[in-house]
Amino acid sequence: MKVVFLDRDGVINKFPGNGNYVTKIKEFHFISGSLESIRCLTEEGFDIFVVSNQAGVGKGVYSERKLQHINRNMLREVKKHGGKIKRVFYCTHRSDAGCGCRKPEIGNIRKAFKLVNKPLSSARKSYFVGDTEGDIQAGVNAGCKTIFVLSGRENRRHLRGWAVKPDYIVKDLSEATKIITNNHVK
């Protein structure tokens, strides 16, 4: 079982800033090394899923059509650089909607495991890479090993108040990829 879950903003692309959203392709900038990391994980045989909250759609800041356009462009660039993301799962609901797919809930993680015909109990051999407490909580809730990257929204200072702690803390997806590839049981 080789599965990696990646948050999007702050892990794959640059975090746009608190209260801001990536609403256009020209605002989507890959973090240095993220394309190479996704290629490496692909070459190592991992199924890669993006699991991302995109509440800007639910708030009316941008349309689901624009989100899909940004998504297609991201996938095209990933493929062009030798990587493959199996599926992108977004929750477009506002945080007050009580949606079961909005992280830290695990609805989208369940969908990913269903897609690869594996039970959720397989998560203990999987990784969740994120830049917020909600990402790490989602990974823990699903049973994944968790990797907190410092390339996005939250930093080490935020960890003090978290209810859960990540298994690993790294600079970015490049360092997370080294941990995943070096520690994964073949």
Catalytic residues, which ones?
Answer: 7, 9
The C-alpha torsion from 154 through 159 and 162 to 163, rounded to 10°, is: 140
Q: Of all helices (H) and strands (E), which one includes residue 15?
A: none
Six token digits for residue 27: 């605002």
Q: How many residues does the chain have?
A: 186
Strands of 20-155, DSSP E: 47-53, 87-91, 127-130, 145-149
Pairwise CA distance, residues 85 & 68, whole Å: 15
**Amino acid occupying residue 171:** K
Under 8 Å between Cβ of 52 and 74: no
Under 8 Å between Cβ of 142 and 100: no
Strand partners, 48: 4
Pairwise CA distance, residues 145 & 123, whole Å: 8
